[in-house]
Amino acid sequence: MPEPGAAPGVRGVRRARGTRAYLRAIGAIVWKDMAAEFRSRELLGAMLVFALLVVLIFNFALELDAAARATVTSGVLWVTFAFAGTLGLNRSMSVEKDRGCLDGLLLAPVDRSALFFGKAIGNLVFMLVVEAIVLPIYSLLYNVNLLLPGMLGAILLGSLGYVVVGTLLAAMAVQARTRDVLLPILLFPVILPVLVAAVKATTGFLQGLETADILPWIQLMVAFDVIFTAVAFMVFDFVVEE
């Protein structure tokens, strides 16, 4: 039995459908992205190799000896994630645009925000997979234990904020003439606060600071995630409108 979840007739295209149907639509989009990636393996492979290359470059650019590592590890990690993330975001949206898939998705009788959440969750999964591989490798290479529970939480919160804004802006960037150069330029000034907070929280956990010292950064990330998820949910319609 359908529940009156979404408000009916907000923009004509939207239909009042049950929450379950909405969740199913999101799940279908995530599943589509996963299946496509599983078969082609072009996105994760590129992100991963790129991420490891960035770590390698940092190793020589910063001379990551034991003393330097204690202070710059989280910075190196987040720059790596942010750069690899842009690759993934651009790719995941331009695939939809180039082969006309986006038009197909827009024709589907589901709320457009379901499309946004589907793509965002897909992007988050890709980013977390890259992080799940880079973190142990970094731990192994530099003999530091990065797999602390608090730190993983901080990385999850940071990635969430990054991906939410990134998915929205990537959807705009791929529709512009200058798309490949545009996404990082649009994205980095907006995600600066979440990046700063993520770096600080990660450093805090690595250096074993008190929870009270780390808490403001966690709160900032939570605030960022909540605000921008809500905003992206509200404005995504305008970004994909034809």
Partner 1 sequence: MGASPRGLKFLSWASVLMFGVASYLALVYAPREAVMGDVQRVFYFHVSAGWVGGLAFLTAAVAGVGYLLRGRRSWDQVALSSVEIGIAFTFINIVTGSIWARPIWNTWWTWDPRLVTATVMLLLYAAYLLLRQGIDDPDRRARFGAVYAIVGFLSVPLTFLSIRIFRTIHPVVIGNNDPTAQGAFDMTPRMLQAFLFSLLTFTVIYLTLLWHRTRLQRLSEHVEERKLKLLGG
150 binds partner 1 (CB under 8 A): no
> Scanning residues 199 to 218, which ones bind partner 1 (CB under 8 A)?
200, 216-217
* Cβ neighbours around 144 below 10 Å, total: 14
CA gap 182, 242 in Å, rounded = 20
* Cβ neighbours around 104 below 10 Å, total: 10
Burial bucket for residue 205 (CB in 10 Å: 0-12, 13-18, 19+): buried
Among 176, 207, 211, 226, binds partner 1 (CB under 8 A): 176
Give whichever of 51 and 173 is closer to partner 1, judged by the CB atom: 173
Region from 11-19, 55-63, 119-127, 188-196 binding partner 1, contact rule CB under 8 A:
188-196
CA gap 161, 125 in Å, rounded = 13
Looking at 3-148, list the stretches that DSSP marks H as alpha helix, in order from N- to C-terminal side.
Answer: 19-40, 43-61, 66-98, 101-107, 112-142
Q: How far is the CB of 122 from partner 1 (least distance, A)?
A: 21
72 binds partner 1 (CB under 8 A): no
169 binds partner 1 (CB under 8 A): yes
Which residues are at the interface with partner 1 (CB under 8 A)?
Answer: 165, 168-169, 172-173, 175-179, 182, 185-186, 189-194, 196-197, 200, 216-217, 220, 223-224, 227-228, 231-232, 235, 238-239, 241
